[in-house]
Amino acid sequence: MFRPRIIPVLLLKNKGLVKSVNFKNHRYIGDPINAVRIFNDLKADEIVFLDILASKEGRMISLDFVSKVGEEANMPFAVGGGIAKIEDIKKVIAAGAEKVIINSHALNLKFIREAADTFGSSTIVVCMDVKKKLFGKKQTWTMAGEKANGYNPVDFGRIMQDNGAGELIVQSIEQDGIMRGYDIPLIKAVSEAVTIPVIALGGAGNISHMKQAYTDTYANGLAAGSMFVYHGPRKGVLINYPDFNELRSIAK
């Protein structure tokens, strides 16, 4: 029996844990290190932290924070936010992260190639943020969804793969925080176009959404934010993770 990786994706803003809807209206959730401790106890497969202000502010994710996560986390973890240079990756890996996530600087193809050659493709994850532009065509965006990069998701995914990225996170901005299910056509289109692992993100609200994404697409991993930090129809804050039986229900 094989099941996909189930991955909490947590957003950082001003050192706090936040959650967004359509990349806006960020709500404070709590202390990120406390969340790591809870996910340890819940035996999460892995965890992702994204600093949503880093690129806009011309800096990278705090190395002190990465080190604190490295000291606490029992599971593999990846981090992203303003990573733009080989030296940035060296520092993040030295601080304890297994992977780096690149978004706003992914179109620097020389950087992606050099990073893959230096650290191995499995260390380099590219996150593509996707939403519709004029006339309903889906485009990939950078800078927390504020700047279109000119590529549709399928072409962008192929370019990243061809230049050495070892994994893609495919995130729907329009589904972010809605909790009504993934953008299945988007995830499927990118997954069919590449051979590297694809992680679905954006819209998951329950196990059924995850099972549908795994059944109907070729995603290798299923990620979520709201699903792992909210509980109940009023969205009370509660860090949670699927139990053994729920995880088994996703498996093929």
Give catalytic residue positions: 129
Task: Give phi and psi for 73, each to the nearest 5.
Answer: -75, 130
List, as one string, the DSSP characters of the chain. ----EEEEEEEEETTEEEEEETTEEEEEEE-HHHHHHHHHHHT-S-EEEEETTTTTTT----HHHHHHHHHH-SS-EEEESS--SHHHHHHHHHTT-SEEEESTTTT-HHHHHHHHHHH-GGGEEEEEEEEE-GGG-EEEEETTTTEE-S--HHHHHHHHHHTT--EEEEEETTTTTT-S---HHHHHHHHHH-SS-EEEES---SHHHHHHHHHHS--SEEEESHHHHEETTTTEE------HHHHHHH--
Structural tokens at position 22: 């359509």
